[in-house]
Amino acid sequence: MPDPLLRPGGDRAAFDADAFYHVLDAERSQRGLTWKDVAVQAGVSASTLTRLGQGRRPDVDSFARLVAWGGFTADQFVHPPKHVQEGGFMTNLPAYLRSDPNLDEQGVQALETIIRAAYDQFRRQG
């Protein structure tokens, strides 16, 4: 059976467990919850969240529950190999920002300006 994560050239798509954990932690913090609260609300075990904090991947059911709990999309955390990606982060920045329901147009423009200025500064240094 073909591997659905296998891309042309043999590269695999990658799950970004660190990004997933950091986004969960930010959402937890913003809601003023403990990790135990998150486990109860999302319907996952506390040990699942502990394993995530250790850089391990969740099982698919836990991933689905946590994505639903946070209001995220699964594709935020699954990335195709670099040679398959269309455009870079800066190319897609406006779309990323506009997909956030917490930002109005003024917020999107302000963040885009700040991020682009920081990116340009660091790119010149590197």
Contact 21, 77 (CB under 8 A): no
Q: Give me the tens of pLDDT residue by residue for the chain, a chain 126 residues long.
A: 444 444 444 456 688 888 899 889 989 999 999 999 999 999 999 999 999 999 899 999 999 999 999 998 888 888 765 544 455 677 777 777 877 778 888 998 899 999 989 988 888 876
> Residue 33's pLDDT is what?
96
Tell me which architecture the domain covering 14-79 has in CATH.
Answer: Orthogonal Bundle (1.10)
> If residue 9 lies in a helix (H) or strand (E), which one and from where to where?
none
pLDDT at res. 80: 64
CA distance 125 to 123: 5
pTM of the model: 0.60
Ordered by start, the domain boundaries in the chain are 14-79, 89-125
Burial class (CB in 10 A: 0-12, 13-18, 19+), 48: buried
Q: CA dist 3 to 10, 11, 76, 119, Å?
A: 10, 11, 20, 36
Count the Cβ atoms, other than its own, within 10 Å of residue 89.
10
CA separation for the pair 17, 21 (Å, rounded)? 6
- Give the helix, strand, coil percentages of the chain, each rounded to 5: 60, 5, 35
Beta bridge partners of 14: 79
Q: Which of 103, 32, 27, 101 has its CA nearest to residue 70? A: 27
